Amino acid sequence: MSQSADVSVGEEAARDLLVSLVDTPSPTGDEEECADLLAAFFEERGREVWRDEAGNVRAPADDSVLLTSHIDTVPGDIPVRVEDDGDGESATLWGRGSVDAKGPLAAMAAAAVETGVSFVGVVGEETDSRGARFLVDDREAPDAVVNGEPSGWDGVTLGYRGFLAGEYSVNTESAHTSRPDANAIQEAMAWWRAVEESLSSAGADGGGDDAKGADDAEDEPAVFERVTAKPVAFSGGVADDGLSVAATVEVQFRIPPGETAAGIRGTVEDELESGAIEWNEPIPPVMETPRSEVARAFRTAIRRVGGDPRLTRKTGTSDMNLYAAAWDCPMATYGPGDSELDHAPNEHLDLGAFDRAVAVLERVSETLQS
Protein backbone atom coordinates (compact mmCIF):
# COMPACT_ATOMS: atom_id res chain seq x y z
CA MET A 1 0.00 0.00 0.00
CA SER A 2 1.31 3.45 -0.88
CA GLN A 3 0.34 6.81 0.46
CA SER A 4 1.80 10.13 -0.63
CA ALA A 5 3.40 12.42 1.89
CA ASP A 6 1.57 15.74 1.50
CA VAL A 7 1.42 16.88 5.13
CA SER A 8 4.19 18.73 6.91
CA VAL A 9 4.42 17.96 10.62
CA GLY A 10 6.92 20.52 11.83
CA GLU A 11 9.08 20.65 14.94
CA GLU A 12 6.41 22.08 17.25
CA ALA A 13 3.78 19.46 16.33
CA ALA A 14 6.30 16.63 16.76
CA ARG A 15 7.26 17.91 20.20
CA ASP A 16 3.60 18.36 21.15
CA LEU A 17 2.94 14.73 20.22
CA LEU A 18 5.89 13.58 22.31
CA VAL A 19 4.81 15.53 25.39
CA SER A 20 1.22 14.29 25.05
CA LEU A 21 2.37 10.68 24.76
CA VAL A 22 4.64 10.97 27.81
CA ASP A 23 1.86 12.73 29.74
CA THR A 24 -0.49 9.79 29.01
CA PRO A 25 0.48 6.77 31.17
CA SER A 26 0.70 3.49 29.25
CA PRO A 27 2.16 0.73 31.42
CA THR A 28 2.02 -2.66 29.72
CA GLY A 29 -1.58 -3.84 29.52
CA ASP A 30 -3.00 -0.32 29.78
CA GLU A 31 -1.94 1.21 26.46
CA GLU A 32 -5.39 2.05 25.04
CA GLU A 33 -5.57 5.78 25.85
CA CYS A 34 -2.07 6.40 24.56
CA ALA A 35 -2.76 4.31 21.44
CA ASP A 36 -5.90 6.36 20.71
CA LEU A 37 -3.89 9.56 21.01
CA LEU A 38 -1.30 8.20 18.58
CA ALA A 39 -3.97 7.08 16.12
CA ALA A 40 -5.58 10.53 16.25
CA PHE A 41 -2.25 12.08 15.23
CA PHE A 42 -2.39 10.12 11.95
CA GLU A 43 -6.14 10.60 11.40
CA GLU A 44 -5.85 14.37 11.75
CA ARG A 45 -3.24 14.34 8.98
CA GLY A 46 -5.24 12.26 6.55
CA ARG A 47 -3.49 8.95 7.08
CA GLU A 48 -5.26 5.59 7.12
CA VAL A 49 -4.92 4.15 10.63
CA TRP A 50 -6.55 1.49 12.80
CA ARG A 51 -6.09 -0.59 15.94
CA ASP A 52 -5.59 -4.29 15.25
CA GLU A 53 -6.67 -7.26 17.39
CA ALA A 54 -3.55 -7.07 19.53
CA GLY A 55 -4.04 -3.34 20.18
CA ASN A 56 -1.28 -2.14 17.83
CA VAL A 57 -1.69 1.18 16.01
CA ARG A 58 -1.32 0.43 12.29
CA ALA A 59 -0.78 3.19 9.70
CA PRO A 60 0.23 1.38 6.48
CA ALA A 61 1.63 3.34 3.55
CA ASP A 62 4.86 3.05 1.54
CA ASP A 63 6.46 -0.24 2.63
CA SER A 64 9.92 0.81 1.46
CA VAL A 65 10.48 1.01 5.20
CA LEU A 66 8.38 0.22 8.25
CA LEU A 67 8.98 2.52 11.24
CA THR A 68 7.86 0.79 14.44
CA SER A 69 8.28 1.37 18.15
CA HIS A 70 6.39 0.39 21.31
CA ILE A 71 3.64 2.25 23.14
CA ASP A 72 3.93 0.57 26.53
CA THR A 73 6.27 1.49 29.35
CA VAL A 74 7.34 -0.07 32.60
CA PRO A 75 5.45 1.20 35.68
CA GLY A 76 6.63 4.30 37.48
CA ASP A 77 5.31 7.78 38.14
CA ILE A 78 7.78 10.49 37.12
CA PRO A 79 6.19 13.99 37.13
CA VAL A 80 6.00 15.16 33.52
CA ARG A 81 7.65 18.52 32.96
CA VAL A 82 9.68 20.40 30.37
CA GLU A 83 12.68 22.23 31.78
CA ASP A 84 14.44 25.02 29.92
CA ASP A 85 18.16 24.32 30.05
CA GLY A 86 18.91 28.01 30.51
CA ASP A 87 20.58 28.75 27.20
CA GLY A 88 17.40 29.86 25.47
CA GLU A 89 17.70 27.10 22.87
CA SER A 90 17.53 23.67 24.52
CA ALA A 91 15.07 21.96 26.86
CA THR A 92 14.61 18.62 28.60
CA LEU A 93 11.44 16.53 28.90
CA TRP A 94 11.07 14.50 32.09
CA GLY A 95 8.63 11.60 32.46
CA ARG A 96 8.18 7.85 32.31
CA GLY A 97 8.63 6.67 28.74
CA SER A 98 10.38 9.81 27.49
CA VAL A 99 13.37 7.62 26.57
CA ASP A 100 11.92 4.09 26.50
CA ALA A 101 10.37 4.42 24.07
CA LYS A 102 8.00 7.34 23.49
CA GLY A 103 10.85 9.49 22.22
CA PRO A 104 11.54 7.02 19.40
CA LEU A 105 7.78 6.41 18.97
CA ALA A 106 6.92 10.10 18.49
CA ALA A 107 9.94 10.71 16.25
CA MET A 108 8.88 7.81 14.03
CA ALA A 109 5.26 8.96 13.89
CA ALA A 110 6.35 12.42 12.78
CA ALA A 111 8.79 11.04 10.18
CA ALA A 112 6.20 8.56 8.87
CA VAL A 113 3.65 11.33 8.26
CA GLU A 114 6.26 13.63 6.76
CA THR A 115 7.61 11.03 4.30
CA GLY A 116 4.60 8.75 3.74
CA VAL A 117 6.16 5.48 4.95
CA SER A 118 4.49 2.73 6.97
CA PHE A 119 4.21 2.95 10.76
CA VAL A 120 3.18 0.65 13.61
CA GLY A 121 3.04 1.41 17.32
CA VAL A 122 3.13 -1.96 19.07
CA VAL A 123 1.96 -3.02 22.52
CA GLY A 124 3.39 -5.33 25.15
CA GLU A 125 7.09 -4.97 24.36
CA GLU A 126 8.09 -4.68 28.01
CA THR A 127 6.66 -8.12 28.85
CA ASP A 128 5.81 -10.69 26.18
CA SER A 129 6.11 -8.65 22.93
CA ARG A 130 2.58 -9.69 22.04
CA GLY A 131 2.20 -6.74 19.66
CA ALA A 132 5.29 -7.62 17.63
CA ARG A 133 4.40 -11.33 17.66
CA PHE A 134 0.95 -10.53 16.26
CA LEU A 135 2.42 -8.19 13.66
CA VAL A 136 4.82 -10.69 12.11
CA ASP A 137 2.02 -13.26 11.88
CA ASP A 138 -0.46 -10.78 10.40
CA ARG A 139 1.46 -9.10 7.59
CA GLU A 140 4.16 -9.70 5.02
CA ALA A 141 7.67 -8.38 5.43
CA PRO A 142 8.29 -4.76 4.40
CA ASP A 143 11.32 -3.88 2.32
CA ALA A 144 13.15 -2.67 5.45
CA VAL A 145 12.49 -2.15 9.17
CA VAL A 146 13.59 0.52 11.62
CA ASN A 147 12.72 -0.50 15.17
CA GLY A 148 12.39 2.24 17.78
CA GLU A 149 14.48 2.09 20.95
CA PRO A 150 16.88 4.65 22.42
CA SER A 151 20.27 4.53 20.71
CA GLY A 152 21.14 8.22 20.96
CA TRP A 153 20.28 10.40 17.96
CA ASP A 154 23.72 9.71 16.46
CA GLY A 155 23.77 5.96 17.22
CA VAL A 156 22.37 2.95 15.35
CA THR A 157 21.88 -0.45 17.00
CA LEU A 158 22.57 -3.48 14.81
CA GLY A 159 22.61 -6.34 17.32
CA TYR A 160 20.78 -7.72 20.35
CA ARG A 161 21.25 -10.87 22.35
CA GLY A 162 18.38 -13.36 22.46
CA PHE A 163 16.29 -14.29 25.48
CA LEU A 164 15.33 -17.54 27.23
CA ALA A 165 13.25 -17.76 30.41
CA GLY A 166 12.05 -20.65 32.53
CA GLU A 167 10.87 -21.69 35.98
CA TYR A 168 12.56 -24.39 38.06
CA SER A 169 10.49 -26.14 40.73
CA VAL A 170 11.31 -28.81 43.31
CA ASN A 171 9.51 -30.49 46.21
CA THR A 172 10.82 -32.51 49.16
CA GLU A 173 9.14 -34.18 52.08
CA SER A 174 8.96 -32.01 55.18
CA ALA A 175 11.26 -32.91 58.07
CA HIS A 176 12.50 -31.40 61.29
CA THR A 177 15.01 -28.64 60.57
CA SER A 178 17.56 -30.34 62.82
CA ARG A 179 17.98 -33.12 60.26
CA PRO A 180 20.88 -32.82 57.76
CA ASP A 181 18.84 -33.80 54.68
CA ALA A 182 18.55 -30.94 52.16
CA ASN A 183 15.08 -29.49 51.74
CA ALA A 184 13.63 -28.08 48.53
CA ILE A 185 14.97 -24.59 49.20
CA GLN A 186 18.52 -25.92 49.60
CA GLU A 187 18.18 -28.07 46.49
CA ALA A 188 17.01 -25.08 44.47
CA MET A 189 19.96 -23.02 45.72
CA ALA A 190 22.39 -25.83 44.92
CA TRP A 191 20.93 -26.23 41.44
CA TRP A 192 21.36 -22.55 40.63
CA ARG A 193 24.97 -22.54 41.88
CA ALA A 194 25.68 -25.53 39.64
CA VAL A 195 24.09 -23.76 36.66
CA GLU A 196 26.18 -20.64 37.22
CA GLU A 197 29.38 -22.66 37.55
CA SER A 198 28.62 -24.68 34.43
CA LEU A 199 27.85 -21.62 32.31
CA SER A 200 30.80 -19.73 33.77
CA SER A 201 33.18 -22.46 32.65
CA ALA A 202 31.71 -22.04 29.17
CA GLY A 203 32.34 -18.27 29.19
CA ALA A 204 28.98 -17.11 30.51
CA ASP A 205 28.32 -14.24 32.89
CA GLY A 206 26.28 -14.76 36.02
CA GLY A 207 26.26 -11.16 37.17
CA GLY A 208 26.38 -7.53 36.15
CA ASP A 209 23.85 -5.19 34.59
CA ASP A 210 21.73 -6.71 31.83
CA ALA A 211 19.25 -3.94 30.98
CA LYS A 212 18.06 -3.92 27.39
CA GLY A 213 19.70 -0.54 27.02
CA ALA A 214 23.16 -1.58 28.20
CA ASP A 215 25.44 -0.84 25.25
CA ASP A 216 28.46 -3.11 25.23
CA ALA A 217 30.03 -1.70 22.06
CA GLU A 218 31.74 1.04 24.04
CA ASP A 219 31.84 -0.27 27.62
CA GLU A 220 32.25 -4.05 27.89
CA PRO A 221 32.80 -5.64 24.47
CA ALA A 222 32.96 -9.16 25.94
CA VAL A 223 29.46 -9.06 27.42
CA PHE A 224 27.69 -9.24 24.06
CA GLU A 225 29.42 -12.51 23.21
CA ARG A 226 28.60 -14.24 26.51
CA VAL A 227 25.54 -15.94 27.97
CA THR A 228 24.20 -14.03 30.96
CA ALA A 229 22.32 -16.07 33.58
CA LYS A 230 20.04 -14.38 36.12
CA PRO A 231 17.59 -15.60 38.76
CA VAL A 232 14.78 -13.02 38.84
CA ALA A 233 12.43 -14.46 41.50
CA PHE A 234 12.73 -17.07 44.27
CA SER A 235 9.98 -18.47 46.49
CA GLY A 236 9.72 -21.43 48.84
CA GLY A 237 8.59 -22.82 52.14
CA VAL A 238 6.51 -25.46 53.88
CA ALA A 239 3.28 -26.35 52.08
CA ASP A 240 -0.05 -25.50 53.68
CA ASP A 241 -0.63 -29.15 54.61
CA GLY A 242 2.72 -29.26 56.40
CA LEU A 243 3.80 -32.41 54.56
CA SER A 244 6.24 -31.01 52.03
CA VAL A 245 8.63 -28.17 51.25
CA ALA A 246 8.48 -26.48 47.84
CA ALA A 247 10.76 -24.03 46.04
CA THR A 248 10.59 -22.27 42.67
CA VAL A 249 13.15 -20.14 40.86
CA GLU A 250 12.33 -17.97 37.85
CA VAL A 251 15.41 -17.68 35.65
CA GLN A 252 16.46 -15.75 32.55
CA PHE A 253 19.30 -16.24 30.10
CA ARG A 254 20.56 -13.84 27.42
CA ILE A 255 21.70 -15.58 24.24
CA PRO A 256 24.57 -14.11 22.18
CA PRO A 257 24.91 -14.69 18.43
CA GLY A 258 26.56 -18.06 17.90
CA GLU A 259 24.70 -19.65 20.84
CA THR A 260 21.26 -21.28 20.78
CA ALA A 261 18.41 -21.64 23.23
CA ALA A 262 18.62 -25.42 22.79
CA GLY A 263 22.27 -25.41 23.82
CA ILE A 264 21.58 -23.36 26.94
CA ARG A 265 18.62 -25.55 27.86
CA GLY A 266 20.83 -28.62 27.57
CA THR A 267 23.51 -27.14 29.83
CA VAL A 268 20.95 -26.09 32.44
CA GLU A 269 19.07 -29.40 32.40
CA ASP A 270 22.31 -31.35 32.78
CA GLU A 271 22.54 -29.87 36.29
CA LEU A 272 19.12 -31.21 37.33
CA GLU A 273 19.51 -33.76 40.12
CA SER A 274 15.98 -33.13 41.38
CA GLY A 275 13.04 -31.02 40.36
CA ALA A 276 12.12 -29.89 36.86
CA ILE A 277 12.21 -26.77 34.71
CA GLU A 278 9.52 -25.43 32.37
CA TRP A 279 10.71 -23.23 29.52
CA ASN A 280 9.03 -20.30 27.80
CA GLU A 281 9.33 -19.73 24.05
CA PRO A 282 12.81 -18.32 23.35
CA ILE A 283 13.70 -15.21 21.35
CA PRO A 284 16.75 -15.69 19.09
CA PRO A 285 19.67 -13.22 18.94
CA VAL A 286 20.15 -10.87 16.00
CA MET A 287 23.20 -9.23 14.45
CA GLU A 288 22.66 -7.16 11.30
CA THR A 289 25.48 -6.31 8.90
CA PRO A 290 26.80 -2.72 8.95
CA ARG A 291 26.91 -2.91 5.15
CA SER A 292 23.12 -3.12 4.69
CA GLU A 293 21.22 -0.34 2.91
CA VAL A 294 19.55 0.55 6.21
CA ALA A 295 22.85 0.94 8.08
CA ARG A 296 24.32 2.94 5.19
CA ALA A 297 21.27 5.21 5.09
CA PHE A 298 21.63 5.95 8.80
CA ARG A 299 25.34 6.71 8.57
CA THR A 300 24.71 9.18 5.75
CA ALA A 301 21.70 10.79 7.45
CA ILE A 302 23.43 11.25 10.81
CA ARG A 303 26.40 12.92 9.12
CA ARG A 304 24.09 15.27 7.19
CA VAL A 305 22.36 16.30 10.42
CA GLY A 306 25.75 17.06 11.93
CA GLY A 307 26.67 13.93 13.87
CA ASP A 308 29.38 11.30 13.90
CA PRO A 309 27.52 7.97 13.51
CA ARG A 310 28.06 5.19 16.06
CA LEU A 311 27.22 1.53 15.36
CA THR A 312 26.28 -0.29 18.55
CA ARG A 313 25.16 -3.64 19.96
CA LYS A 314 22.91 -4.11 22.98
CA THR A 315 23.28 -6.79 25.63
CA GLY A 316 19.51 -7.07 26.10
CA THR A 317 16.65 -8.02 23.75
CA SER A 318 14.07 -6.05 21.75
CA ASP A 319 11.27 -6.53 19.25
CA MET A 320 13.90 -6.36 16.49
CA ASN A 321 14.88 -9.92 17.43
CA LEU A 322 11.38 -11.09 16.49
CA TYR A 323 11.30 -9.10 13.26
CA ALA A 324 14.67 -10.50 12.19
CA ALA A 325 13.55 -14.06 12.92
CA ALA A 326 10.35 -13.66 10.86
CA TRP A 327 11.24 -11.24 8.05
CA ASP A 328 14.07 -11.53 5.55
CA CYS A 329 14.80 -7.83 5.12
CA PRO A 330 17.46 -5.38 6.35
CA MET A 331 16.80 -3.62 9.63
CA ALA A 332 18.24 -1.60 12.47
CA THR A 333 17.11 -0.06 15.75
CA TYR A 334 17.20 3.69 16.27
CA GLY A 335 15.83 6.43 18.49
CA PRO A 336 16.71 9.51 20.55
CA GLY A 337 17.59 9.12 24.22
CA ASP A 338 20.27 7.77 26.51
CA SER A 339 19.68 4.04 27.03
CA GLU A 340 21.26 4.31 30.49
CA LEU A 341 17.98 6.00 31.48
CA ASP A 342 15.76 3.05 30.43
CA HIS A 343 13.35 2.30 33.31
CA ALA A 344 15.25 4.73 35.56
CA PRO A 345 13.63 7.00 38.16
CA ASN A 346 15.25 10.03 36.47
CA GLU A 347 14.17 9.22 32.89
CA HIS A 348 14.42 12.31 30.69
CA LEU A 349 15.04 13.28 27.07
CA ASP A 350 16.86 16.21 25.49
CA LEU A 351 14.39 17.81 23.07
CA GLY A 352 17.14 19.05 20.78
CA ALA A 353 18.27 15.44 20.34
CA PHE A 354 14.64 14.50 19.64
CA ASP A 355 14.44 17.11 16.86
CA ARG A 356 17.65 15.79 15.30
CA ALA A 357 16.33 12.21 15.49
CA VAL A 358 13.20 13.23 13.55
CA ALA A 359 15.41 14.79 10.88
CA VAL A 360 17.56 11.64 10.69
CA LEU A 361 14.51 9.39 10.36
CA GLU A 362 13.08 11.56 7.61
CA ARG A 363 16.34 11.39 5.64
CA VAL A 364 16.62 7.62 6.15
CA SER A 365 13.03 7.09 5.01
CA GLU A 366 13.55 9.24 1.92
CA THR A 367 16.74 7.35 1.05
CA LEU A 368 15.07 3.96 1.38
CA GLN A 369 12.12 5.15 -0.73
CA SER A 370 14.37 6.17 -3.63
Q: Model confidence over 12-58: pLDDT tens digits?
A: 999 999 999 999 999 999 999 999 999 999 999 999 999 999 999 99
Domains identified in the chain, total number: 2
Residues 119 and 47 in one domain: yes
Residues 200 and 251 in one domain: yes
The catalytically annotated residue of 31, 62, 63, 72 is 72
Which SS3 state, helix, strand or coil, does residue 252 take? strand
0.85 exceeded by the pTM?
yes
Among 279, 295, 319, residue at a domain's last position: 279
2 within some domain: no
Alpha-carbon Rg for the chain, nearest whole angstrom, is 22
Q: Measuring CA to CA, how many Å separate 198 from each of 40, 162, 167, 192, 221?
A: 52, 19, 18, 10, 22
For the chain, percent of residues with pLDDT exceeding 90: 84
Residues 143 and 16 in one domain: yes
Residues 147 and 260 in one domain: no
Residues 255 and 320 in one domain: no
For the chain, percent of residues with pLDDT exceeding 70: 91
1 within some domain: no
Among 237, 262, 279, residue at a domain's last position: 279
Full DSSP string of 272-289: -SSSEEEEPPPB--EE--
pLDDT of 216 over the 50 cut: no
The catalytically annotated residue of 62, 63, 114, 125 is 125
Band (pLDDT 50/70/90 cuts) for residue 227 is very high
CA dihedral 8, 355, 19, 337 (to 10 degrees): 140
Q: Model confidence over 143-174: pLDDT tens digits?
A: 999 999 999 999 999 999 999 999 999 999 88
Specify whether 138 is catalytic.
no
pLDDT of 176 over the 70 cut: no
Task: Supply the range of the domain harboring residue 274.
Answer: 162-279
69 within some domain: yes
4 within some domain: no
What pLDDT, on the 0 to 100 scale, is given for residue 350?
A: 97
The answer to whether 338 touches 150, Cβ cutoff 8 Å, is yes
Specify whether 125 is catalytic.
yes
Among 279, 309, 324, residue at a domain's last position: 279
**What is the residue-averaged pLDDT of the chain?**
92
pLDDT higher at 198 or 86: 198
Are β-strands 331-334 and 57-59 bridged in parallel, bridged antiparallel, or unpaired?
unpaired
- Mean pLDDT (whole number) for 326-349: 97
